[in-house]
Amino acid sequence: MTVKMQTRGDAIIQDAEAVLKGVKALAQETFTRSDLSGLIEPFTSRIEYFLKAVVFPGASRRTTLNTLIDDLAPLGAQSTTLEALHHLRELYNTSKHDPDTELKWRRCMETLSGAVAALQDIAGLGLATVDAIFEQDLSSVVYVGFWDHYTGGETEFGLFLPSDHWLGTSPISTFHLPMSAWDQVKPLLVGHPRYESGETALGDDLWKSFSEEGDFLNAGVWEGDVRELLMLLSPFNDEAQEKAVIPFLARRNDLLSVGVAIVSAAVDVARADPGLAGQTLRRRVAERAKKEYAAEVATSLGRAVLDSVSDLLERVPAGQRAALAGPAFRKAETKTAPPRDIPLRLDGTTFIWMIA
Tell me the three state secondary structure of residue 28.
Answer: coil
Q: How far is CA 21 from CA 14, 25, 113, 250, in A?
A: 10, 6, 10, 48
Q: How many CB atoms within 10 Å of residue 331?
A: 13
Which residues share a beta bridge with 92? none
Q: Residue 117's pLDDT is what?
A: 98
User: What is the structure's pLDDT at 137?
Assistant: 64
Q: Which CATH superfamily is domain 8-131 in?
A: Nucleotidyltransferases  domain 2 (1.20.120.330)
How big is the CA angle at 296 (ends 280 and 152), to the nearest 5 degrees?
160
Helix, strand, coil shares of the chain, percent, nearest 5, are: 55, 15, 30
Q: Which residues pair with 350 in a beta bridge?
A: 325, 347
Rounded to the nearest 10°, the torsion over CA 226, 229, 235, 237 is -70
* The model's pTM: 0.82
Q: In sequence order, which residues have a C-beta less than 8 Å from that of residue 162 and are 6 or more positions away?
A: 141, 143, 168, 169, 170
Identify the H or E element spanning 78: none
| Alpha carbon 9 to chain centroid, angstroms | 18
Q: Where are the beta strands (DSSP E) in 168-300?
A: 169-178, 195-197, 215-224
pLDDT score, position 1? 39
Collect the ranges in the chain with pLDDT lower than 50.
1-3, 336-339
DSSP 134: P
Please, are residues 123 and 56 in contact by the beta-carbon 8 Å criterion? Answer: no
Model pLDDT for residues 313-347, shown as the tens digit of each residue: 999 999 999 999 999 999 887 554 444 578 999 99
Return the domain boundaries, the chain. 8-131, 140-249, 254-355
Classify residue 52 as exposed, middle or buried by CB count within 10 Å of its CB (0-12, 13-18, 19+): buried
- Identify which of 75, 65, 83, 63 has the alpha carbon closest to the alpha carbon of residue 9: 75
Cα separation, 337 vs 356, in Å, equals 10
- Pair 148, 125: CB distance under 8 Å: no
Residues 6+ apart with CB under 8 A from 265: 285, 286, 288, 289, 292, 293, 295
